[in-house]
Amino acid sequence: QAKSDHRHSLQLFSAEMNRRAQERASLERALQQALSDRSLMLHYQPQVLSSSPGTLHGVEALARWNHPQWGMVPPSQFIPVAEDAGLIHELTLWLLDEACRQLAAWRAAGHDVPCVAVNLSGRSFHRPEFAQEISDALQRHGLRASDVLLEITESVMMDARPVTLQNIEALHHQGFKLSLDDFGTGYSSLSYLHRLPISELKLDMAFVQDLTTSATARALTVSVLSIAHSLGMVVVAEGVETIGQQQWLQTHGCPVMQGYLFGKPLPPDEIEAWLCAQAPRPYR
């Protein structure tokens, strides 16, 4: 009896595995298709100055995939597939090019967008030509290194491969700024912060969302702000949703905030509308 139960659950298990593998394979094929017909999009989320929440520090470009049958597929689902399938690099270069094109177009239309932040995957840093590919994308659109902020994760910072370090050095040398995304959720060592040219820390939203309820989250946030301040780094608080969080962060000297309270990730035309809505109105 026990043996056949076991066999039965093994069969269920392998049926489930099989189903998942098939799901993954069709996701991968669809993503490949979306890449080749350029049907992915970017939305942009405002990052605002704490001292003046109508003023942009920049916008973060976030990948969006609206599949004809499945609807919106979240990046938390398709980015890992792109990474495993070896598609992430092509995706990254295309999104980077698109973000640069958009920034140049906004500026040409007279919108004051100081910079665009782009999320990079650790895998791309294993390509010796990556730093060059990034600067090529900027040149195509007449932008400078300071116009783009490169978001990396703690895993990139901790990656000891020579090729990764060479890319980081080359980017730094070319004047690019690096931002450390989801800070506080990984396993990085603080000593790396001053060994690598990191100019911005993005405090993960897990901390921000606990600020009003957890003394530990407050204590950790105070230390992050203090470390960043003494190392000359900007802190961007992610996932700010309430006025309570905003006020706490502002009181404790966090210079930049990003979150639904100020604006969700929006398609480019709605960013323009957002910018116009923030602009000072002359006849009030």
With CB atoms as reference, the residue minimizing the distance to ligand C2E is 259
Q: How far is the CB of 284 from ligand C2E (least distance, A)?
A: 29
- For ligand C2E, which is the closer residue by CB, 131 or 284? 131
209 lies in the site for Mg ion, by CB under 5 A: no
The residue range among 25-33, 150-158, 190-198, 227-235 that interacts with Mg ion, by the rule CB under 5 A, is: 150-158
Region 169-208 residues binding Mg ion, contact defined as CB under 5 A: 181-182
Q: How far apart are CA 6 and CA 189, in angstroms?
A: 44
Give me the 103-122 binding string for Mg ion, x by CB under 5 A, dash otherwise.
----------------x---
Residues with Cβ < 8 Å from 207, sequence gap 6 or more?
184, 217, 220, 221, 224
241 lies in the site for Mg ion, by CB under 5 A: no
Q: How far apart are CA 238 and CA 169, in angstroms?
A: 27
**Bridge partners (DSSP) listed for residue 67:** 71
47 lies in the site for Mg ion, by CB under 5 A: no
What 3 state SS string does 150-182 have?
EEECHHHHCCCCHHHHHHHHHHHHCCCEEEEEE
DSSP track, 23-67: HHHHHHHHHHHHHHTT-EEEEEEEEEETTEEEEEEEEEEEEEEEE
154 lies in the site for Mg ion, by CB under 5 A: no
> Pick from Mg ion, ligand C2E, none: which does 76 bind, CB < 5 to 8 A by kind?
ligand C2E
Q: How far apart are CA 251 and CA 246, in angstroms?
A: 9
> Pick from Mg ion, ligand C2E, none: which does 268 bind, CB < 5 to 8 A by kind?
none
The residue range among 2-10, 234-242, 244-252, 272-280 that interacts with Mg ion, by the rule CB under 5 A, is: 234-242
Residues with Cβ < 8 Å from 89, sequence gap 6 or more?
121, 123, 124, 127
> Pick from ligand C2E, Mg ion, none: which does 154 bind, CB < 5 to 8 A by kind?
none
- For ligand C2E, which is the closer residue by CB, 50 or 119? 119
Contact criterion met (CB below 8 Å) for 227 and 170: no
- For Mg ion, which is the closer residue by CB, 259 or 268? 259
> Pick from ligand C2E, Mg ion, none: which does 62 bind, CB < 5 to 8 A by kind?
ligand C2E
Binding site for ligand C2E (CB under 6 A): 45, 62-63, 74-76, 79, 95, 119-121, 181-182, 205, 238-241, 258-260, 265
151 lies in the site for Mg ion, by CB under 5 A: yes
CA-to-CA dists, residue 49 to 9, 44, 45, 52, angstroms? 55, 16, 13, 5
> Would you report the helix, strand and coil content of the chain in percent, each value rounded to 5?
50, 20, 25
Name the residues that contact Mg ion, by CB under 5 A: 119, 151, 181-182, 238
